[in-house]
Structure 1
Amino acid sequence: MAIIDLLKSQAQESGDTQVSVIPILGMGGIGKTTLAQLIYNDKKVESLFDLRAWACVSEDFDAVRVTKTILRSLIPGRRDDNDLNLLQIELKKALNGKKFLVILDDLWNESYHDWTILFTPFEAGAPGSVVIITTRNREVANTTRTTEAYQLGLLSNDDSVSIFTHALGAKDFSSHPHLKDFGEEIVRKCEGLPLAVKTLGGLLRFEKNRDKWEEVLKSEIWDIPETRSGIVPALMLSYYHLPSHLKRCFAYCSILPKDYEFEEKEVVLLWMAEGLIQPQQKEKEMEDLGSKYFQDLLARSFFQQSNNKKSRFVMHDLINDLAKSVAGNTCFRMEDRVEGSKQGSTFKKVRHVSYLGSFFDGFKKFEAFSELTCLRTFLPLMLPLPYCNLTSYVSLELLPTLRCLRVLSLNGYCITKISNSVGDLIHLRYLDLSRTHITSLPESTTNLYNLQTLLLEDCQRLEQLPSTFGNLVNLRHLNILQARSLKAMPLHIGKLTCLRTLSDFIVGEDCCSGLKELGSLSCLRGTLSISKLENVIVPEDARGMNLSGKPNLDGLSLGWSEDIDDSKDRTSEKEFLNLLQPHKVLKELTIRCYGGTEFPSWLNRPSLPNLVFLTIENCKKCTSLPPLGKLPSLRVLSIAGMASMKSMGPEVCGDGLSQPFKSLETLNFKNMVEWENWSPCEAFFSNLRELSIKNCPKLSGNLPNHLPSLENVEMDGCCRNLVVSVASFPDQCKIKFEGSEGVVCGGEVDFSTLILKHLSTISEFESQMEVSNGVVCGGLANVQELVVYGCMELTHLWSNAVGSFPHLPSLRYLHVSDCPKLVSLVAKGQLPPTLKELRIWGCENIQILVEEDDTANSCGDSGDSSRSHDLQYLSISNCPSLKSLISSGELPTTLQTLQIHSCPELESIAKELHHNSLLKSIAISDCGNLKSLPTGIHSLSHLSDIEIWGCPSLDFLPDGELLPANLTRLDLAGCEKLQVVVNRIHTCTSLQYLSMGRCQRALVCFPEEGFPTNLTSLSIYNRSIAQGLFEWGLHRINSLKYLQICDGSLHLVSFQEMKLPTSLIDLRIVNFPNLEYLSPEGFRNLTSLAVLRIHNCEKLASFPKKGLPPSIRYLEIGDCKKLTSFPANCLHPSLLHLWINRCPDLEGWCKKERGREGSTIARIPHVFLALDLIDN
């Protein structure tokens, strides 16, 4: 494939090559995303890059959303932030020095300015990094590309026929020759558009009637111009010939935003709630019929599988447009723009509404909903969790008027209670309150007789369900996963005989449902978790549950509480657990905190032939495991916290079994504190891919020696008597050892990752390696990543490496931390020539990184040693004894990122930087002994980012030098001698971000020329800011969006004296001791201001009587004690967040105003007074 060859050539570039941008250009439905997916998932392509990420951009360009999506790909589980500057700094750090592949799918925005903002963090990547964009717009391709766009054309007729027959489920027409002529004509009418060909093929896949094919071929829809309808005729034809039940379901999906990823069950439950699934036969389950509908639409290419997660699906943009077209005015996405003249009439016809949620959803967003008295769907989607806030107007005033609602979701909002009026929504079938902060549901909820789905997942403050919960006799799905505060199930849960999904059943102590009530829930399916089993008084109750009579359950979790008193008699638990035998179809089983001494008999025989996942956790009194090798389908086995087990031998495999554990791929052991002996047979683990042993301090002996399929092995906190022979592992196995001493590195095995942590006795890494005649014998020839952490006796990694570097010839990443006796990395030698990234942290005695031997050269020549390797990223932190980096005084010429933090004795970084032309970023902090930076900084054309904090002795630039011409970010703090730099600040025409504080000499001497005119962010904070600060012409910086001024002038009384630019979006005013009022003149022209923060202005007594700008969405006030109230109309209804702290009179006024019905404050989604969240 030509584009993959191009990608490989770009990825293999080095030197000063910039990040490549390759556009894939073509019309809608031509296959741009499909091609990008093939590239992204190609294993050979994956091996070229350190990091990969995928983000959908779509028509509504949002740099914040796209940046967050990329960050979530790179850093799973990170908390969301809405500040683009902070997001980009985080992304830049994640990409710094790494070779990455990023796919930006469906880019429409032609603005070069917006593109440069989005692209800025990518510039931190290593040479060979690639960004692929897919777009329909040639102007977008021209704006972004660094290489020629890859143009996708229409398919040839032969290729179209091939795709068509594949969609039909065949190779050609040989099995149905009577359809060939019609099929080929239909393909020609698709004119080479892959999506059209595939969709029509999917439509006709199950239709073998020649008349039906002729009807499709001769339809008049082919003659409707695309310019008139906006829809490709072939796609409209595909919809037209759908069965009526699929048409209704597909049209409803028009409420899903473009690029929205959805689960099958999520959509099916919505269809059910809207009455779109009506089984004709009683024996057909609604859920099963909905799943069939979904799969039919998937087979017809109306849905397609997501690239990010296989269980999720998306609609192609053209298919989404089709859904919107056929749904007409009944479905509405709030993000869609409606012409003003049509908005009123269109809105009144709407029955189903969705919208993209945000952190603050205020009154103005829902103002027009009062007209939608017949609304049936209220569905916020894609909330930027966590902690989203919704105006009280929705729950208290709007929802009670929407009496026709069938679908209501408030998922993800920080609401703490639900109005009792929810019980009046008698048509409601779907209620989603997941991830809210509610503590209970109102009793009126049980009036919702028609309710089918109740979702309360991750409601961690929910303490109880209504006492009359048994009234919800039509409830089919109850999800209370992660509702950790629930103490019991309410009485009469057994009346809910329609339940298909019951995620959790909590056994309570007093007046609550007992286990017997589960017996009547014969339709349960999916996964059931039963917890707090210690509250069961009569073990015989387990028989009444009839678990073995629930064939649709494929997952079961049985759990007792962890905090049960050890003195409690738990002998009855064995009998009880024996009675909990599940049906043989079970695929996943977890047993947690069981108090018996033996496992149930049904685990000792092959009664669970379909079991795939088994977890046994904290069963502290069991001394042995059952013969788990008899489970033929078992793929993942996790054993943890078995505190009494000392030995595990062949008995676990099953006596006389010729091939135990034949399917096992993942084996995990954790917290087995008494486990001493493991006697496995290698043949039993021939398919094992992942092995993890953590915190098993007494385990000794040998691990299995023959694991031919092993890909990852991790050892953490194991005894030094446990022998791990690296020679037993297959090639390219990833290895991580932490606090495990018994490592034998013999053998000629290749693996790519080696992590050594807490190896307290190792003193010299080199001595652990075996080198014979210059050949690596320690299994390290292909190690690319080495992590050394907490090795207390380690003094250096290598010494006196003669000739080429022998031990790690492929090493790319080296991380060393918490090695207190480490003096240097290399004594009389050099770093590996392949090394790209080096991180050192917390090595308190290291004085120099590399003490070079004049006779040694890693390239084998006598050239400049700084050019002899490929180091691109260097980070050193918390090394208090470090005085210099490399004895030669020269940094590698390939270096792109340099970070040095908390090295107070550091005297010198390098002699000069003239040869470091690739350097992009310098960050230095808390290096009190550093007096100057090397010469040559002004010549670094790629240097874009300088951050220096807490270096009071630093003069910064040598006399006579200018700042780099392409500098975009300069952040200086605690550098009192910095004067020269600010005298020349106006010459940095590319500078966009400037922050300066505690640099007294610098701030006093700001030049008459003022600031660079391209600044977007400016922060200045210092107690000696002169009165002339506001005369420097801030209002002339037309690009300035963010301004923070702290410790202001003693003479400033009125806000109007500041002369601020009209482009400001975010303004922070902190510590102006004599500021008395905010005059309207100062705010009049700030029409874009969205965020206003005012702190420590002790004389400030009033706000402008004409109000604050209506554009303000976020208002924060702190330590302004003379403020007593807001004038009438000061707070606009568009305000979304109000934060007030240590302003006692103002807080009191706000609390009173909050109680007044219809007041502006009562409708603000998020109000924070005195550090306490007030629920609105």
Structure 2
Amino acid sequence: MRDLAARARKIRARFNEIIKEYEDLCMTDNDGEQQIDLATQRLQRHTSSFAHEPSIHGRDVDKNNIMQMLLAEVRPMAVLAIVGMGGIGKTTLAQLVFNDPRVRQYFDRFAWICVSEQFDVKIITRNIISSLHKQKWDVMELNDLQEALIKQIERKKLLLVLDDVWNEQRAHWDSLCAPLLTTELCRIIVTTRSKTVARLVQTMPLYSLNCLTSAASWSLFEQITFEGQDPASYANFIQTGEGIVKKCKGLPLAIKTLGSMLRYEASEERWKYVLESDLWDLDQQQNNIFAALELSYRHMPVYLKRCFMALSLFPKDYHFSQDKLICLWKSLGLLDNVQDKDRAGRFYLSDLLKQSIIQCNEHEYTMHDVIHDLACCVAGEEFLRVENDIPDQISHDVRNIAIFFPWTVAISKLKHLHGSSSLRSVILSSKDGVGGPVEIPEQLFLHSKQLRTIVFDGVSLARPSLPDSVGNLKHLRHLILRDIGGLRLPTSICQLFNLQTLDVTTSGNLKPACIPNGIGRLVNLHTLPVITIKRGAWHCNLRELKDLQNLSGKLCIKGLDNVTNVDEVEEANLCAKQHLQALNLTFPDGDWQYCEHGQEPALATASHEEILESLRPHSHLIELSIEVSRSCRYPNWLGDTSFTNLTLIRLEYCEFECMPPLGQLPALKHLTIAEMARIERIGLEFCSLNPRIKGFKSLVTLEFEWMPRWLQWSGVGDGAFTSLHTFSIHHASELRSLPCVLSSSLAELKLRDCTGLVRIPCLPSLLKMDLRQCNGLTELPAFPLLQKLDIGQCTSLARLPSLPLLKVLILRDCPNLTAAAHFPSLTSIHVKGGFRDELLYHLMNCHPSLENILIVSESIVHLSVEPQNLPSLASLRLSCPNLQCCDGLDGLTSLTELRIYGCIKFSFPKLLAGQP
């Protein structure tokens, strides 16, 4: 009975935990399968086609772009999707287009429907009829409704706006559109926050709406807040107002909301309060920002809601990579329910992107401040971020805490949590790479025994090692110690038998971490991004990998120079680790200097050739990198056709004397070969050892870098490189020619410091070419599809061929270039360095499609333009210190930008001299 009572108490405690998590998640009955009930319907927003145009700023360009797309489209039916985060002004933009006089004149019928979450085809169809007929329509059967709609729109020109669409069901969309096909012409504008919805409905390129510029933001705020007031009366509020506008980051809804709050507000104290407060702390009766954005949160599936909450641990304006975000989610246990955590993390990130929750800028991601505020609001006390404003007390309900610089003060607050049974994650991070050494309180490891995650990222520790007491954290799942130079892990970490992640990655010149012998006992390890092999009994060795069968994701093995026995390599049993996706094999341990061939490290008893041969990975591997190997031979498994998933290979500083048969790999897409100092010839073996296999069928990018002895490349037959898109060679000064049959699909070619190259084959699909220091080239073939040509320091090049589709031409220091054919599509010329006057005149005055000219040269004294030959020239920039005049300048009627800088001897034409 006693055991039964104890079990009952545990079950009840677990139910209480679930109820609390349910409440923290703000879950509703709509989670799981998306259903709409009456309560949800009451929360739906309502919009109309009418806009208050005086309060709209900064959308003229967007409006004109959309109108041009709509009116220029020739297909009978077309759908344009406007995509953007909540509150960015999608509805307002659609209203501007809907009510424009040109649109009203072009179309016969107009309908505006606010769809929101419930996409009911019958209701939407009935609303379209009511909008067209200007009276309520009570028919309920879909067939009758569609027949009635057809009668009203048949052979008419219809403009339909569907505002705030969330539907992702193709069948619903097709059913709605069926009667619309009977029109003579139909244009549908769909506004949505979801890129998934946009891609479902679009027949035209989707239109991504961005935030307002700083000038437009201030103009909107000023009009809403100070309308009708004398500017002198609000002069004292301008500086604070500009700070408030900056805080809104160009989001119109936030600007309007805060502007309305402060309208006729005369208290400077109130203005400063709004400036310094987070949005969710402001008066909720006046604050409709979160009412609009909370819809995005409610629409997330349950698993994504917690991932979104975790974003509150990042500071505002924080730029994070995909790897860092997925690492955070994994460390918080948010991906524990899936086997392939990295893949699931990428899907979740993609979902947030599609819903316009986060934005992508090249390879980094960020959140708008308002979205960040929403994440903090819904996260409640479970997630706490500590920055400059250190709270006096940290609630015992905090489960996950992220501390940013200043650490010393913040860490002292952790003393309040030393006995907390709720604390699960501690994250210590440097936001900008600043902050002095920090002393980690040992009590954190002694008393916070429920910790599941510790993350120290870019932190300078006062001591080079963690305290031994870290071994007390028996429940620890994730130990992430990134970018901490010279870190020494205590042997007690080998007692953390529940540990799933051990990440001691370092970047730049930081010394790698020392991992103790014994980590092979951590059989639950899934993530071990890097392990460094060192000599000595204390340090870990390759044998430690033997029992780590669950390793997945990426593994970098450094210090293979320190392997003393090939048996140690074979015991590592890499070929059995089927979950590994990326493998990096590096022979130096991080404090290496490159050795010439034949100079093995002291005390080494295993050759690089034997080590590589014994490190054969599992055939499921996706990415492979080998760095600084002094083996003359490549391992026999490299290029084996059993590696059917291998998509990326990088070979760097390897002394192979011939190339492995990498063309046999069926899935290989990206190949980089760098610093291969012994390669002199590449032949048929590179593509395949089997004559029946056409080499590199899937390869998309191919890069060669620093190949000083490479003389010849042959053996490329028909059918090889059929998917190649980008090809580059950097610093191969002895190479004489490229294969004649390279690729019919090649779109980009980059050749730099290939001084021995005398010929380039004709590449029929080439779109972009970049040539630098290719002094052996005297001419180029005519590339029929080339659109961009960038040539620099090609001293022997004498003439440019006919390039009918060339749009951008960039020339740098080609002194012997004397002639160029006519380029009928040319829109932009950039010329830098010395060139013949005749060539410059031809390039500038014989191409009527030119829109942009940039000339930077010290040798040019006189330029001449023929205005009648340059009807489209919009931008002219000159930086020529010896330039004295430019004839015809005053006749360029289409010019919108003229920049003349560093031209101290230049005299302006009389018509321009008096202008500001």
- Report TM bin, short chain: 0.5 to 0.7
Determine if contact 1:630/1:657 at 8 Å carries over to the other structure: no
C-alpha separation in 2, matches of 1:160 and 1:704: 63
Instruction: Give the C-alpha shift of residue 553 in structure 1.
Output: 0.1
Determine if contact 2:802/2:822 at 8 Å carries over to the other structure: no
1:493 counterpart residue number: 519
- Picking from 480, 486, 504, the partner of 1:480 is 504
1:375 counterpart residue number: 398
1:534 and 2:561 aligned? yes
SS of 1:394's equivalent in the other structure is helix
C-alpha separation in 2, matches of 1:462 and 1:153: 63
Question: Within 5 Å, which residues of 2 pair with 1:804-883?
Answer: 807-819=822-834, 826=840, 830-831=844-845, 832-841=847-856, 843-848=857-862, 850-851=863-864, 857=866, 859=868, 868=871, 870-876=873-879, 879=881, 882-883=882-883
C-alpha separation in 2, matches of 1:322 and 1:669: 47
2:477 counterpart residue number: 452
- Picking from 424, 427, 437, the partner of 1:417 is 437
1:509 counterpart residue number: 535
Cα distance change on mapping 1:578 and 1:298 into 2, 3 Å: closer
Instruction: Give the C-alpha shift of residue 786 in structure 1.
Output: 1.7
1:686 and 2:709 aligned? no
1:712 and 2:748 aligned? yes
Cα distance change on mapping 1:157 and 1:907 into 2, 3 Å: same
- Picking from 60, 66, 70, the partner of 1:21 is 60
1:393 counterpart residue number: 409
C-alpha separation in 1, matches of 2:586 and 2:122: 56
1:308 and 2:360 aligned? yes
Task: For residues 673-724 of structure 1, give each alpha carbon's deviation from its aligned partner in whole angstroms, at most 9, with x where no partner exists.
Answer: 1111111224211111111111111111343345221110111111344410
Query: TM-score of the superposition, structure 1-length normalised?
Result: 0.50
Instruction: Give the C-alpha shift of residue 312 in structure 1.
Output: 9.0
Determine if contact 1:411/1:435 at 8 Å carries over to the other structure: yes
Residue type at the aligned position of 1:870: L
Determine if contact 2:768/2:789 at 8 Å carries over to the other structure: no
Residue segments in structure 2 that go unaligned for 5+ positions in a row: 1-56, 75-81, 105-109, 126-161, 176-189, 201-284
SS of 1:691's equivalent in the other structure is strand
Instruction: Give the C-alpha shift of residue 782 in structure 1.
Output: 1.9
C-alpha separation in 2, matches of 1:307 and 1:699: 44
Residue type at the aligned position of 1:711: A
Instruction: Give the C-alpha shift of residue 509 in structure 1.
Output: 2.8
What is the count of residue pairs matched by the alignment? Answer: 679
Instruction: Give the C-alpha shift of residue 546 in structure 1.
Output: 0.8
Determine if contact 2:85/2:357 at 8 Å carries over to the other structure: no
Determine if contact 1:303/1:313 at 8 Å carries over to the other structure: no
2:664 counterpart residue number: 630
- Picking from 790, 805, 815, the partner of 2:813 is 790
Cα distance change on mapping 1:429 and 1:568 into 2, 3 Å: same
Determine if contact 2:764/2:783 at 8 Å carries over to the other structure: no
C-alpha separation in 2, matches of 1:757 and 1:298: 40
1:753 counterpart residue number: 788
Instruction: Give the C-alpha shift of residue 572 in structure 1.
Output: 1.5
C-alpha separation in 2, matches of 1:736 and 1:299: 40
Cα distance change on mapping 1:481 and 1:688 into 2, 3 Å: same
C-alpha separation in 2, matches of 1:754 and 1:660: 29
Question: Within 5 Å, which residues of 2 pair with 1:902-917?
Answer: 902-903=902-903, 906-914=904-912
C-alpha separation in 1, matches of 2:62 and 2:608: 63
Residue type at the aligned position of 1:470: C
Instruction: Give the C-alpha shift of residue 568 in structure 1.
Output: 1.6
Residue type at the aligned position of 2:693: S
2:691 counterpart residue number: 656
1:768 and 2:784 aligned? no
Residue type at the aligned position of 2:809: L
C-alpha separation in 2, matches of 1:500 and 1:490: 18
Residue type at the aligned position of 1:546: N
Task: For residues 556-613 of structure 1, give each alpha carbon's deviation from its aligned partner in whole angstroms, at most 9, with x where no partner exists.
Answer: 0111235235442488211111100000100111111111111111125323121111
1:1160 counterpart residue number: none
C-alpha separation in 2, matches of 1:250 and 1:721: 53
Determine if contact 2:477/2:498 at 8 Å carries over to the other structure: yes
SS of 1:428's equivalent in the other structure is coil
Cα distance change on mapping 1:516 and 1:297 into 2, 3 Å: closer
1:600 and 2:631 aligned? no
Cα distance change on mapping 1:713 and 1:247 into 2, 3 Å: closer
Determine if contact 1:732/1:782 at 8 Å carries over to the other structure: no
Question: Within 5 Å, which residues of 2 pair with 1:896-1045?
Answer: 896-903=896-903, 906-914=904-912, 935-938=913-916
SS of 1:618's equivalent in the other structure is strand
C-alpha separation in 2, matches of 1:788 and 1:302: 40
Determine if contact 1:226/1:233 at 8 Å carries over to the other structure: no
From the two aligned structures, give the one with the greater helix fraction.
2
Instruction: Give the C-alpha shift of residue 394 in structure 1.
Output: 1.0
Determine if contact 2:828/2:850 at 8 Å carries over to the other structure: yes
Cα distance change on mapping 1:313 and 1:157 into 2, 3 Å: farther
Question: Within 5 Å, which residues of 2 pair with 1:557-596?
Answer: 557-561=584-588, 563-569=594-600, 572-596=607-631
SS of 1:520's equivalent in the other structure is coil
C-alpha separation in 2, matches of 1:379 and 1:651: 53
Higher deviation after alignment, 150-159 or 649-658: 150-159
C-alpha separation in 2, matches of 1:789 and 1:159: 64
Residue type at the aligned position of 1:308: C
Query: TM-score of the superposition, structure 2-length normalised?
Result: 0.63
Determine if contact 2:598/2:630 at 8 Å carries over to the other structure: no
Question: Within 5 Å, which residues of 2 pair with 1:1165-1176?
Answer: none
Determine if contact 1:751/1:779 at 8 Å carries over to the other structure: no
C-alpha separation in 2, matches of 1:506 and 1:159: 64
- Picking from 594, 606, 609, the partner of 2:644 is 609
Cα distance change on mapping 1:888 and 1:545 into 2, 3 Å: same
Task: For residues 134-162 of structure 1, give each alpha carbon's deviation from its aligned partner in whole angstroms, at most 9, with x where no partner exists.
Answer: 356799989xx999999974248539889
C-alpha separation in 1, matches of 2:707 and 2:812: 23
Residue segments in structure 1 that go unaligned for 5+ positions in a row: 1-17, 26-34, 45-102, 109-132, 176-191, 203-224, 333-349, 356-360, 381-387, 770-777, 799-805, 861-866, 915-934, 939-1176
C-alpha separation in 2, matches of 1:237 and 1:434: 29
Task: For residues 365-403 of structure 1, give each alpha carbon's deviation from its aligned partner in whole angstroms, at most 9, with x where no partner exists.
Answer: 11x3425244222236xxxxxxx84253113x2223233
2:731 counterpart residue number: 695
C-alpha separation in 2, matches of 1:259 and 1:828: 49
Instruction: Give the C-alpha shift of residue 754 in structure 1.
Output: 0.7
Residue type at the aligned position of 1:912: K
Question: Within 5 Å, which residues of 2 pair with 1:515-526?
Answer: 515-526=542-553
Determine if contact 1:585/1:611 at 8 Å carries over to the other structure: yes
Instruction: Give the C-alpha shift of residue 650 in structure 1.
Output: 1.1
Cα distance change on mapping 1:376 and 1:146 into 2, 3 Å: farther
Cα distance change on mapping 1:710 and 1:612 into 2, 3 Å: same
Determine if contact 1:707/1:728 at 8 Å carries over to the other structure: yes
C-alpha separation in 1, matches of 2:691 and 2:195: 56
Residue type at the aligned position of 2:435: I
1:732 and 2:767 aligned? yes
C-alpha separation in 1, matches of 2:123 and 2:360: 27
- Picking from 451, 464, 484, the partner of 1:440 is 464
Instruction: Give the C-alpha shift of residue 833 in structure 1.
Output: 3.5
2:417 counterpart residue number: 402
